[in-house]
Homo-oligomer: A and B are copies of this chain.
């Protein structure tokens, strides 16, 4: 198992069980605790690596989908689709970045949050999106819904292939017919 795959497995498990012990994480990732330690020298290092992975992937997603191009709703759809690989651990990092003891991860997430809010603002300013709810809420809600969808997929309540449509449908149009 290469380090990236190990890190991803650990991240996904931690996304579901923030309380997991190093033993449990290692087992879930299919390696021994010694091996986990060899790759990530301690829990702190592992958490930092998970955080860095999520930030990197979110930044990549933001770059790839070019949030500033085209209609805001289309950009949001692209982003939702691009978020799927990081979705199993996204909410873990984002919400805990507010509880984190280190300044740097928080700054990275703030930047990502700002990019999302800018997208929602753009949509509001050009008339695509409603203006009675705040961009900050939209950003938080998107993270929440992404996390919820990841969880649904993980526990088998939804199919992975439905991930984009589930979120897009709900975020853009809501449940009303």
Least CB distance, A131 to chain B, in whole angstroms: 8
Least CB distance, A171 to chain B, in whole angstroms: 6
Chain B, Cβ-Cβ closest to A92: B18
Residues of B within 8 A of A17 (CB): 99
Least CB distance, A149 to chain B, in whole angstroms: 8
Interface size class of A (residues with CB under 8 A): 35 or more
- For the complex, is A176 an interface residue (Cβ under 8 Å from B)? yes
Least CB distance, A155 to chain B, in whole angstroms: 6
- For the complex, is A48 an interface residue (Cβ under 8 Å from B)? no
- For the complex, is A109 an interface residue (Cβ under 8 Å from B)? no
Chain B, Cβ-Cβ closest to A113: B157
**Which residues between 80 and 138 of chain A lie within 8 Å of chain B, taking CB atoms?**
95, 98-99, 120, 123, 127-134, 136-138
Copy number in the complex reads: 2
Pick from A29-37, A52-60, A62-70, A162-170 the stretch touching chain B.
Answer: A162-170
Measured CA separation A166–B144 after assembly (Å): 13
Instruction: Give the residue of B129, B131, B175 whose beta carbon is less than 8 angstroms from that of A138.
Output: B175
Instruction: Convert A140-156 into 0s and 1s, putting 1 for each residue whose CB lies closer than 8 angstroms to a CB of B.
Output: 11011101110110010
- For the complex, is A19 an interface residue (Cβ under 8 Å from B)? yes
Q: 16 A–B contact pairs at CB < 8 A?
A: A16-B99, A17-B99, A76-B175, A123-B175, A129-B176, A130-B177, A132-B169, A133-B175, A138-B175, A140-B152, A144-B145, A144-B147, A144-B149, A172-B175, A173-B173, A173-B176
